[in-house]
Structure 1
């Protein structure tokens, strides 16, 4: 194959790839939202796709930080191993979220798939070089990092509540705000994680979590079409129970 033919073949592959990126469900939520369509090939040139099966590990606590990950579909759970062998789930990643730039040299927590998930991975060094070339990419990463820190702060406040019902109400509102990233349109919130995962995150027993779901349902604040779906019927009353002192619209303003 001649040089010109090889160049045309490579250009065709780039165009096809960029077309796929433009059609990605999280194109305007994830890291790539900072890049214009004509520049997407620069980001995709350093990207490697990663597919995970349910409960498959992406990285372990203590692993060296070498890549940045952007979740395009599915859900990841983040957790820390405790000295007594238990684990504390510190959070969940949703499509559009990223992982890998907060820690310095090693990862401070583990990450594994809750359900089948797809990610884009980027070498940190090459991302840093692109950030120098594209200030919009640097600014996007900084905004996403600030949003992640706000979410961590909100989670700390939620976990500091004494009443289990307060914790669950706050968890549902925060997850709903992150999942929808816009005012609700009557859609049910998908809970891909198990009740055990929710319990491990909130520091409760699975029996307590189940009772709290039942109580919120009996009070007419939520509907439970099935174990992995919840429809929030009264956000303002749920916010009162959570004791967050703000309206649900303000929660959405913290979602990147």
Structure 2
């Protein structure tokens, strides 16, 4: 989606060539339709490209820590990250998962409110906040796209809060799986009954406010009810969307 971070041995000529190639890659990025970049024309994408650095985030690495100044905004192009906060009593809360196409930077805070940790081999496009602010002023439709994304994130946060308020673990897990399935369908451009789980059972538990044992038992219960299959540890196959939707809506 953007130019890779240059190594110290890279010459200015090769850097210029890389910029030209990466601009074309950005225009044909496989997740562009999911990102805020979709609001921009080809010329505007190239303007964004000039201030963007593509950087790898190895699995287990921390992209930012709670309390650090927010100097950049990010778009995830590969992999998956989690937003983590450690509570006063030492418990860990996973506020959410950041997947390809997600934009990190919609916040009024000057500091990061969460640790941002890679749970898979990942890559992000990084833009300095000051330069992104200038770009938003130049292209008002980009500002509108960011406002739309902020509204979507607010809706998702409200839906997640409602799911967490439910008492039964199957309802929470069903809602979580359906939201992942909807996201994967948008990424692929078609519906699919197979859902990838880049996060582990412990991450899911800390996100849904459950224990890891409860999450494992609930997966088993949904499988026994014929709602899902578990062909692999990190893959869920949804066998009955309608029943899973009813469960998520507390209709069973």
Q: Same fold (TM over 0.5)?
A: yes
Could you list the runs of 5+ residues in structure 2 that have no partner in the other structure? Answer: 1-12
SS in structure 2 of the partner of residue 213 of structure 1:
helix
**Residues 1:16 and 2:21 aligned together:** yes
Give 2:102's aligned residue: 97
**Residues 1:225 and 2:231 aligned together:** yes
Q: Summarize deviations over 1:109-151 as a string: whole Å, max 9, x none.
A: 1110010100001111111111111112111111111111111
Give 1:137's aligned residue: 142
Number of aligned residues: 239
**Residues 1:212 and 2:218 aligned together:** yes
Q: Summarize deviations over 1:58-93 as a string: whole Å, max 9, x none.
A: 111111111110000100101111112221001101
SS in structure 1 of the partner of residue 32 of structure 2:
coil
User: Which residues of 2 match residues 109-124 of structure 1 at below 5 A?
Assistant: 109-124=114-129
**Residues 1:198 and 2:209 aligned together:** no
Taking the aligned partners of 2:59 and 2:211, their CA distance within structure 1 comes to: 23
Per-residue deviation at 1:101?
Answer: 2.4
Q: Is the 8 A contact 2:79 2:121 kept in 1?
A: yes
User: Which residues of 2 match residues 164-179 of structure 1 at below 5 A?
Assistant: 164-179=169-184
SS in structure 2 of the partner of residue 65 of structure 1:
coil
Taking the aligned partners of 1:47 and 1:232, their CA distance within structure 2 comes to: 38
Per-residue deviation at 1:231?
Answer: 1.3
User: Which residues of 2 match residues 1-256 of structure 1 at below 5 A?
Assistant: 13-181=18-186, 185-243=191-249
Taking the aligned partners of 2:89 and 2:31, their CA distance within structure 1 comes to: 38
Tell me the TM-score normalised to structure 1 length. Answer: 0.87
Could you list the runs of 5+ residues in structure 1 that have no partner in the other structure? Answer: 1-7, 246-256
